Structure 1
Amino acid sequence: MMAGERRTLLLDFEKPLAELESQIQQVRDKSSELGVDVADQIRDLEQRARHVRQEIFSKLTPGQTLQVARHPRRPSTLDYIQAISDEWLELHGDRRGSDDPAIVGGVGRLGQQPVVMLGHQKGRDTKDNVARNFGMASPGGYRKAMRLMEHANRFSLPILTFIDTPAAWAGIDAEKFGQGEAIAYNLREMFRLDVPIICTVIGEGGSGGALAIGVGDRLLMFEHAVYSVAPPEACAAILWRDAQKGPIAAESLKITAPDLLKLGIIDEILPEPIGAAHSDPVQAAENLKQSLGHHLADLQKMSGAERRELRYQKFRRMGVFSQANES
């Protein structure tokens, strides 16, 4: 990555770390020019940089976590699929006339196990993001996802979904072609599938657009991902008519992995490398692959009826609370 690009992608709270990395590079450059051994100095600076990186990423606010989840270099669905699968064949189309690029999916192998993998796909740059509508799927995208899941159920293939979207597409055409119906249909149908379903929030999980491929036996979530009923900016615009108050809304929405684990929404937090998944995508993918293999082996011990019942009970428990009687 070029230095200019690195500065462009730098998050505000990463500046102290960037300054240290700049110092390390300056020391290296000077040592090359003067032929001086500065190994000890560089070692000390690198150790300090690791400490600063760990300090920064261990104390992120919900608003900062949201920035990390949206980082343009964060691994995408296709990145993870290519990293964890031994074979992969992408399948296209919803068989109703569209092939939404904001949802990708196909057949692959996780170790020796054939699986169907699908998820939201954001772009890497402005042109790619526009082509993929920033990962915001249309009705056709969710119908394509459901077609692939029905294919998996027909051939007894486990389903792995990867969630990474701000929300479902909210355009006029989306409503015209039945966005609400497409999402509702997916929610209903995912509950009846016999095969194991493991859903993972890899980046930004926003609104019904995320939930439409998020009904599963296990819901995993990366450490610096977010999962929310609505994007914080949208929530702030509704409550205070000011989208700039998104960070305040993020605090109240409980969008982070630790909060959601405590609330019983997710089943496991996947650790990320120090500096988040975009700093070491290979290690992040390895963490994901190990967890998927563990949960898949556990779920395959059950019958289809047992999985359906556990899936149903899992979602029935969400939001349940008890109220003490007032004396």
Structure 2
Amino acid sequence: MQYLEFEKPLAEIEGKAEELRAMARQNEKMDIEKEAAALDRKAEQMLRDMYKGLTAWQKTQVARHAERPHCKNYIDALFTEYTPLAGDRNFADDHAVMGGLARFHDQPVMVIGHEKGNDTKSRIERNFGMARPEGYRKAIRLMDMADRYNLPVITLIDTPGAYPGKGAEERGQSEAIARSTMKCLEIGVPLIATVIGEGGSGGAVAFAAGNRVAMLEHSVYSVISPEGCASILWKDADKMREAADALRLTAQDLQKLGVIDRIIQEPLGGAQRGRDETIEAVGKAIAAMLKDLTGKPRETLIKDRRQKFLRMGSKGLSA
């Protein structure tokens, strides 16, 4: 288990409990279970206290935790008969974006998401979840296909933001993001978006302009990263804590503002401490949202989606 900066006191206690148990494994005559159990109880209470009052910056750290389940984990666990579709039919296949045809609870769907990778090799291959223009154009192609065959679209969002490299800008990064966002608003099938980690900037909005938008409890969704915001406003990236508070990027703030519809609870200590439970909770939430939208006419779905985004920010402005 990788510990975050604010979890260091917890790491000490859990480390001591593990040391005691390691000593007992080496010497069967040692009886340390009582002491280890006491440390376990202390660690659990500390974990509850920590996660009861996380700051916006701490939630950002949890959302970025490398051991949280990623898009591929959700697809493998929740979808059957997944058939990946590659390429934008124009330039290349962007490995930061994965998607394809699948079945969700035996219903044919199109699933699209950002994939960050889980080790050094895969993170480099996936560009740390930062899509290039061809990734957004691939998503547009898949959404077009879903619309043509009347398939609901399910998106899983986990990106620091779109890739800001020179080549990406030369190939029309902003235009690709805008067109992907526009395509989300145009299709006449249900579009359900779930932020499973980071929802960074236009790179996230391009997949998240849906009929229903959900966020995991400790995920974040913002127009810019706290570090980027601090660099612009204060010329000091170390002001990221203040920026995180000002951005109102937590699921709890965004639900009050009407930006998202649902918060999906995470296990105590975050998704990284209960990967299977988190994936199951996301599956249940997607099923509930999909049931709510299934059978609605094409015109109703498009109007509902547009009205949802026109209303954003009108709730909770005085909070």
How far is the alpha carbon of 1:24 from its aligned partner? 1.4
What is the TM-score normalised by the length of structure 1? 0.93
Q: Which residue of 2 aligns with 1:31?
A: 24
Does residue 83 in structure 1 map to residue 107 in structure 2? no
> What is the letter of the counterpart of residue 98 of structure 1?
A
> What is the distance in 2 between the residues matched to 1:206 and 1:241?
20
Q: Deviations over 1:35-59 (max 9, x none)?
A: 2444433333222222111211221
Change (3 A) 1:287 1:323: closer
- Cα displacement string for residues 136-173 of structure 1 (whole angstroms, at most 9, x for unaligned residues): 11110000011111111111111000111111111111
Residue in 2 that maps onto 1:309: 303
Instruction: State the alpha-carbon separation in 2 of the partners of residues 211 and 323 from structure 1.
Output: 21
User: CA 1:322–1:99 in 2, change beyond 3 Å: closer, same or farther?
Assistant: closer
Letter aligned with residue 298 of structure 2: G
Q: How many residues align?
A: 317
What CA distance in whole angstroms lies between the structure 1 residues aligned with 2:116 and 2:189?
Answer: 27
- Show the counterpart of 2:62: 68
Match in the other structure for 2:13: 20
Residue identity matched to 1:243: A
What is the aligned-residue RMSD (CA, Å)? 1.7
Structure 2 residues without counterparts, runs of 5 or longer: none
CA pair 80-183 structure 1, distance change in 2 beyond 3 A = same
Quote the residue 1:3 is aligned against. Answer: none
Partner of 1:154: 148
Specify the code of the residue in structure 2 equivalent to 1:51.
Q
**Equivalences for residues 176-255 of structure 1 within 5 A:** 176-255=170-249
Give the equivalent residue in structure 1 for 2:292. 298
Q: Quick one: distance in 1 between partners of 2:317 and 2:45?
A: 44
Which ranges in structure 1 are unaligned for 5 or more consecutive residues?
1-5
Q: Which residue of 2 aligns with 1:273?
A: 267
Report which stretch shifted further, 237-246 or 276-285.
237-246
Distance 1:322 1:240, change over 3 A: closer
Q: Report SS of the residue matched to 1:301.
A: coil
Distance (whole Å) between structure 2 residues aligned to residue 12 and residue 293 of structure 1: 35
State the shift of 1:11 in Å.
0.9
Instruction: Indicate how the Cα distance of structure 1 residues 158 and 321 shifts in structure 2: closer, same or farther if over 3 A, else same.
Output: closer
Q: Quick one: which amino acid aligns to residue 268 of structure 1? A: R
The answer to which of 33-42 and 130-139 deviates more is 33-42
- TM superposition shift of 1:321: 7.1
Pair 1:267–1:15, CA change in 2 (3 A): same
Deviations 1:160-201 (A, max 9, x none): 001111111111111211111111111222112111100000
Secondary structure at the counterpart of residue 151 of structure 1: helix
Alignment partners' CA distance in 2, 1:273 and 1:161 = 22
Q: Secondary structure at the match of 1:212?
A: helix
The 3 A distance-change label for structure 1 pair 204 and 321 is closer
Q: 1:107 aligns with which of 98, 101, 105?
A: 101
Is 1:169 the counterpart of 2:163 in the alignment?
yes
Q: CA separation in 1, counterparts of 2:277 and 2:82?
A: 20
Aligned residue identity for 2:36: I
Q: What is the alpha-carbon distance in structure 2 between the residues aligned to residue 252 and residue 97 of structure 1?
A: 39
Name the SS for the 2:13 alignment partner.
Answer: helix
Q: Provide the C-alpha distance between the structure 2 equivalents of 1:255 and 1:322, rounded to a whole number of angstroms.
A: 14
Deviations 1:79-133 (A, max 9, x none): 1111111221111111113100111101111111111111111122333222222
- The one of 314, 318, 327 aligned to 2:312: 318
Contact conserved, 2:256 with 2:316, CA < 8 A, in 1? no
- Name the stretch that deviates more: 13-22 or 207-216: 13-22
What letter corresponds to residue 15 of structure 2 in structure 1?
S
SS in 1 for 2:199: strand
Using the alignment, how far apart are the partners of 1:88 and 1:46 within structure 2? 40
Q: Percent identity at matched positions? A: 45
Normalising by structure 2, we get a TM-score of 0.95
Cα distance in structure 2, aligned partners of 1:48 and 1:322: 38
Q: 1:129 to 1:322 in 2, by over 3 A?
A: closer
3-state SS of the aligned residue for 1:162?
strand
Q: Specify whether residues 273 and 58 from structure 1 end up closer, same or farther in structure 2 by C-alpha distance, changes over 3 A only.
A: same
Structure 2 residue 92 is the aligned partner of structure 1 residue 98: yes
- Measure the CA separation in 2 of the matches of 1:59 and 1:321: 23
Distance 2:18 2:226 in 1: 38
| 1:126 aligned residue | 120
